[in-house]
Amino acid sequence: MIEIRNVTKSFGDFRVLDDCSATVTKSSVVVVCGPSGSGKSTLIRCINGLEEIDSGEIVVDGISVGAADTDLNALRARVGMVFQSFELFPHLTVLENVDLAQVRVLKRERRAATERSMTLLERVGLVDQAKKYPAALSGGQQQRIAIARALAMDPVAMLFDEPTSALDPEMINEVLAVMTQLAEDGMTMIVVTHEMAFARHVADRMIFMDRGRIVEDRDTAAFFAEPRSDRAREFLSKILHHDLVIT
């Protein structure tokens, strides 16, 4: 489904991705973790062409992302992305936010788009908020709307860039519940997150990054039971201790 082959990316003199390779198979869930600044967000932004790579190749569902003839808008419609910030249009209602790209990009009739939107709003538990504007919603509700909007494009895969990092603690679980259901329904997902309980429960594989490199790419149970690298062991000891302290 997604092939990352020897990808390198620099910002000026700083190499943010260094010879990264990984494979994500259809219907699998991969969680990418690591310390801040390790290249996690850049990696998934490269997958749908939001960042250009310097060398290597990324192939999504048979399409080479960096190829000159690749239609990036069409690719992004097939690879949904949910960001840390919700990126909703404040002047549009919830329903209009979910409808918009369906009509403009997929060229759906408005009635068909609205029918699809309402189905997805029901799926994320927010059908009763359809006529409200984003400012009237909590952060958790806005992020669930953002997920519904991405799903409205009928993507073959979903990318999540720390989707709960901007949320208050009590709102995190409602977003993770929607993501868990997506995983159980067979959606191919790559998730950048520090939510290790979610990762343990949902992920098939864990990718651990440090200083722009993929240090570990392993089965989830094996990664948590016995990480191979000192850096991953240190990271897990700190983040799992933090989880225990706040619960």
**CATH at 174:** 3.40.50.300
Q: How many domains does the chain have?
A: 1
User: In this structure, what token pair is assigned to residue 163?
Assistant: 């989707």
Average pLDDT over residues 26-48: 95
Of all residues in the chain, what percent carry a pLDDT higher than 70?
97
Could you report the per-residue pLDDT of 221-246, keeping only the tens digit for each? 999 999 999 999 999 988 875 553 33
Pairing of strands 205-210, 29-33: parallel
Average pLDDT over residues 32-58: 94
189 vs 166 pLDDT, higher one: 189
Per-residue model confidence (pLDDT) at position 112 = 97
Average pLDDT over residues 43-64: 94
* Domain limits for position 91: 2-246
How many angstroms separate the Cα of 107 from the Cα of each of 14, 75, 101, 110, 183? Answer: 41, 15, 8, 9, 28
pTM score, whole prediction = 0.92
pLDDT beyond 50 at 171: yes
Per-residue model confidence (pLDDT) at position 168 = 87
Across the chain, what does the average pLDDT equal?
92
